[in-house]
A and B are shown apart, each in its own frame.
Chain A
Amino acid sequence: MLCQECQERPASLHFTKIINGEKTEIHVCETCAKDKGDQFQGSNNFSIHQLLSGLLDAGQSLSASQSQPYKKTQPDLKCPSCGMEYKQFAKVGRLGCADCYRTFNQKLEPVFKRIHGGNSVHSGKIPKRKGKDLHVHREIENLKEKMKKLIEQEEFEKAAETRDRIRSLEESLNNKGGA
């Protein structure tokens, strides 16, 4: 496929934008993407990565920035546990310790989405020993999802069974917390 801008080089970057259900596809080469970066996004000095990430989570970051004002995160954030500064992280692209994730949480959210195709919440393995309760939480979430579907399908009997199962799981969690 040729670049739709210069019609010379092969298109190496492909964007699909869906805004209000309207789909726009853009196929450009790297050079034209650099040239047209501002045109696509409507701001200056956009690198390819920013352009890409901007398109990837345009919708989410808009709502996220409304609910959490940007002024909260100042550039001189520093992790209390390991001393890593945000500036330093931005340069090396690596974090200093587990607590950095909490310290830089707000700033990391869009980074995760950018890197992981719009995802920022883990849905994989939970460590067996450390995450015993987490396992139960995860199962409850799954059951709730299942119950919703069952209700939609009007399988009320099965939905009631699922509800009971959720209740007993929630109770087991509460009991443990109280003991």
Chain B
Amino acid sequence: MSLGPFINEAVSPWMKNEGPEADIVISSRIRLARNLQDVTYPLLADKEQLEKIVGKVEDKFAGHSHRRFGQLELLKMNDLKANDKRVLVEKHLISPNLATDSKAGAVLLSEDESLSVMVNEEDHLRIQCLLSGFQLDEGLKYANDMDDWMEEKLDFAFDEKRGYLTTCPTNVGTGLRSSVMMHLPALVLTKNLNRILPAINQLGLVVRGIYGEGSEALGNLFQVSNQTTLGKSEKDIVEDLRNVVTQLIQQERAARKTLLEQSQNKLEDRIYRSYGILAYSRRMESKEAMQRLSDVRLGIDMGLIKNVNGKILNELMILTQPGFLQQYAGEKLNSEQRDERRAAVIRERFNLETNG
């Protein structure tokens, strides 16, 4: 398959629409953790009990059409090849844990892949809604819709005092994790981010790299999410996150302006060097790729590079991950081969831009 159509299939439909504040906010995610009443949680349940849950979900929701999400499809982890699971992880549709650790994991997917429900991850159900740009309210609305629909047909473990009873006490109450993926290169370049992060932590929010806890911030991408799930309403949790993200957006914009005013030539040099390396190199490690892509993306968003589409970072960020590279190659690749492939895919993608 040539690259154009492959990208079309690889990139989730929800990602193709540009959301609000797309120059800084890549995506918004809402996750609700739910468990079934009177069934042991996945941590202690045996395979048979877990398969029963998958069966229930398949029965009541797979193939059924929902007014908002369309037809839902159920994929069982045990039926999938290792690389297919990896691709689902790289698209952020399932977690690495579901792919490798669940005894009987499954995922329910909407047609546009904006909605996924993981079955038998840490909790029986994890409803997740992913939208492009800064759309937390919409995400919460969709996730709530799915939650309501599922609750019509399933009995959830709920307690008046403690709320939704989750496997981990860090999720109890609302079971809500709302998070926003942000591209903050100017705050990193001006070293302002380190000043801001401790303040954010004090507000009950967490900032992480894109691959979750403890991960390094590759490509200047940061995930900001709430830590508190109990004692606040869903709306307040999302509102608190939105306020902080709004401020981060303003700070990032201000930092970009400062960079432009004080060191435009230096900035342009950095951006075009990265552009040149991406467009011509023959080997590329993933870490370097992310950094260079971040530079180019900054150049595009600041209007310094004009003939390249801003979606390029989002697309290549996904396409240059190991699972996708292997899927595109149609075979298993070692890390040397991947570096070569990665450079080739990036070059090809840049060519698509310049040729129209």
Q: Residue of B at shortest CB range from A93? A: B168
A111 to chain B: closest CB distance in Å? 6
The bracket for how many chain A residues form the interface is 35 or more
Taking chain A's interface residues, is the majority helix, strand, or loop, or is none over half, making it mixed?
loop
Given A101-B162, A124-B174, A126-B158: 4 more A-B contacts, CB < 8 Å: A96-B43, A97-B39, A123-B233, A129-B152
A115 close to chain B: CB less than 8 A = yes
A134 CA / B158 CA spacing, docked (Å): 11
A83 close to chain B: CB less than 8 A = yes
Within 8 Å CB of B172, what residues of A?
A: 101, 112, 122
B176 close to chain A: CB less than 8 A = yes
Q: Are B122 and A120 in contact (CB under 8 A)?
A: no
One of B83-91, B94-102, B223-231 contacting the partner: B223-231
Q: Are B44 and A128 in contact (CB under 8 A)?
A: no
A-B contact count (CB 8 A): 121
A92 close to chain B: CB less than 8 A = yes
Taking chain B's interface residues, is the majority helix, strand, or loop, or is none over half, making it mixed?
loop
Q: What are 13 A-B interface contacts by the 8 Å CB criterion?
A: A84-B44, A94-B41, A94-B167, A95-B165, A95-B167, A98-B38, A108-B169, A117-B231, A122-B160, A124-B233, A128-B148, A130-B158, A131-B160
Q: Are A116 and B37 in contact (CB under 8 A)?
A: no
What is A's interface to B at a CB cutoff of 8 Å? 12, 14, 81-84, 92-98, 101, 108, 111-112, 115-131, 134, 137
B133 close to chain A: CB less than 8 A = no
A88 CA / B173 CA spacing, docked (Å): 22
B161 close to chain A: CB less than 8 A = yes
A96-B44 in contact given A121-B230, A122-B174 (Cβ < 8 Å): yes
A120 CA / B155 CA spacing, docked (Å): 23
A98-B35 in contact given A84-B44, A130-B155, A137-B160 (Cβ < 8 Å): yes
